[in-house]
């Protein structure tokens, strides 16, 4: 390499370094301007009592351009909001920074605020079950921020109010719990054993039904259901008794008619006797009365005979009626010089 090339390379390097330094200086100045503006707005909000708006502005200013004065105001803002743990931690940082930079007045002011806040602090302890603590990849978060596993079992100052704790581990179900931290209290949260995460849906086992061989004949059709047995007459003699009553009733009617015809014959015969001699009647009407008397007498005799027979038959049928199932049946009977009904079977 000749001298001209070396000189040119060195000159370019110098120019590059100078431009980088100038850009960094411009960036730092811009950041400081933003930090100053945020600090002024935060301080103004504090003076107006709008601490919920002031604290985020002071936080942002401190991130851009850290300073002891900003820390002191930020600690006071936290304290006004009741965030005692955040105020206590911020004043501790301010005291450390002030002592390191020789700002003894500010360091003393920060220590005084620390001493005032310590009796008001609330403490939260997170305990974890041994089976969960030994899980690889265990992760612990509080209010969305990683705390690390070193916080387990330690009483840590916490701001009063709700605090959410999330615990996760690979291949295990996560666990979350929200604790409401009480001012000045000491509270403990126990993280239980994390359950194994499900491994996904299990495959459904389909049941396989073996088909019959192709050569097997089709099964015989099922026989038709048997016809139900005929209803059994629980009182088999009831019909026979009804028949007996009907026959007896008809017999009584026959007897009644025989009585009527008998009385009529007697009356007619009496009138005929009054007008007729044993061989001669005076008028034709007397012959009619005599004939009518004989006809009525015949009808009376027949009616009495039939009625008496029906009454007798009805009595036999009624009193021979079975009280349990029997094979008795009524059938016609025809014989030499006889025609009628006969009872067959046994009682």
8 Å CB contact between 77 and 42 = yes
d(CA 72, CA 95): 9
The fold adopted by the segment(s) 121-191 is Immunoglobulin-like (2.60.40)
8 Å CB contact between 87 and 71 = no
Both tokens assigned to 50: 């709008």
Kindly report the pTM of this predicted structure.
0.50
8 Å CB contact between 135 and 171 = no
Lowest-confidence region among 128-137, 141-150, 247-256, 323-332: 323-332
d(CA 273, CA 286): 9
Does the pLDDT of residue 177 top 90, yes or no?
A: yes
Which residues on neighbouring strands pair with residue 146, listed in sequence order? Answer: 141
Residues in the chain: 347
d(CA 141, CA 149): 9
Write down the domain spans for the chain.
Answer: 19-119, 121-191, 238-344
Helix (H, G, I), strand (E, B) or coil at 20: helix
Higher pLDDT, 103 or 278: 103
Helix (H, G, I), strand (E, B) or coil at 281: strand
Does the pLDDT of residue 310 top 70, yes or no?
A: yes
Strands 122-128 and 139-142: unpaired
Q: pLDDT-derived band of residue 320, with 50, 70 and 90 as boundaries?
A: confident
Q: pLDDT-derived band of residue 108, with 50, 70 and 90 as boundaries?
A: very high
Helix (H, G, I), strand (E, B) or coil at 189: strand
Mean predicted confidence (pLDDT) in 294-317: 74
Burial code of 270-303, b = ≥16 C-beta within 10 A, e = fewer? eebeeebeeeebeeeebeebbebbeebbebbeeb
Angle (nearest 5°) at CA 73 between 71 and 78: 90
Does the pLDDT of residue 78 top 90, yes or no?
A: yes
The predicted structure's pLDDT at residue 121: 96
Both tokens assigned to 273: 């006797």
The fold adopted by the segment(s) 19-119 is 1.25.40
Which residues on neighbouring strands pair with residue 338, listed in sequence order? Answer: 335
Higher pLDDT, 88 or 246: 88
Per-residue pLDDT reduced to its tens digit, 204-235: 444 334 444 445 555 566 666 666 665 555 56
Does the pLDDT of residue 18 top 50, yes or no?
A: no
Beta-carbon neighbour count of residue 32 at 10 Å? 13
Q: What percent of the chain has pLDDT above 70? A: 62
Both tokens assigned to 20: 């980088």
Higher pLDDT, 110 or 326: 110
Q: pLDDT-derived band of residue 12, with 50, 70 and 90 as boundaries?
A: very low
Lowest-confidence region among 6-10, 213-217, 254-258: 6-10
The predicted structure's pLDDT at residue 20: 43
d(CA 306, CA 312): 10
Q: pLDDT-derived band of residue 32, with 50, 70 and 90 as boundaries?
A: confident
């Amino acid at each position: 390499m000749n001298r001209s090339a070396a000189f040119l390379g060195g000159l370019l390097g110098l120019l590059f370094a100078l431009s980088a330094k100038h850009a960094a200086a411009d960036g730092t100045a811009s950041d400081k301007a933003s930090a100053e503006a945020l600090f002024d707005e935060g301080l103004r909000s504090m003076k107006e009592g709008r601490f919920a708006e002031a604290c985020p502005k002071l936080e942002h200013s401190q991130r851009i351009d850290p300073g002891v004065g900003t820390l002191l105001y930020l600690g006071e803002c936290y304290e006004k909001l009741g965030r005692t743990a955040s105020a206590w931690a911020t004043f501790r940082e301010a005291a450390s920074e002030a002592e390191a930079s020789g700002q003894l007045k500010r360091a003393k002011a920060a220590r005084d605020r620390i001493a005032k806040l310590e009796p008001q602090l609330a403490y939260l302890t997170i305990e974890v079950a041994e089976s969960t603590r030994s899980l690889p990849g265990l992760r612990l978060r509080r209010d969305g921020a990683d705390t690390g596993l070193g916080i387990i079992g330690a009483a840590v100052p916490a701001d009063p109010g709700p605090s959410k704790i999330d615990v996760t581990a690979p291949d295990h179900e996560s666990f979350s719990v929200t604790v409401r931290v009480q001012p000045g209290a000491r509270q403990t949260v126990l993280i239980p054993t994390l359950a194994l995460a499900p491994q996904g849906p299990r495959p459904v086992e389909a049941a396989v039904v073996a088909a019959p061989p192709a050569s097997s004949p089709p099964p015989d059709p099922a026989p038709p259901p048997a016809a139900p047995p005929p209803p059994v007459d629980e009182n088999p003699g009831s019909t026979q008794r009804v028949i007996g009553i009907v026959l007896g009733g008809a017999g009584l009617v026959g007897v009644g008619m025989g009585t009527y015809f008998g009385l009529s014959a007697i009356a007619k015969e009496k009138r005929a006797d009054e007008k007729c001699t044993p061989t001669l009647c005076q008028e034709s009407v007397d012959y009619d009365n005599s004939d009518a008397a004989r006809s009525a007498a015949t009808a009376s005799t027949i009616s009495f005979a039939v009625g008496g027979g029906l009454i007798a038959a009805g009595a036999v049928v009624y009193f021979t009626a079975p009280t349990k199932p029997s094979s008795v049946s009524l059938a016609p009977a025809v014989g030499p010089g006889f025609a009628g009904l006969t009872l067959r079977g046994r009682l």
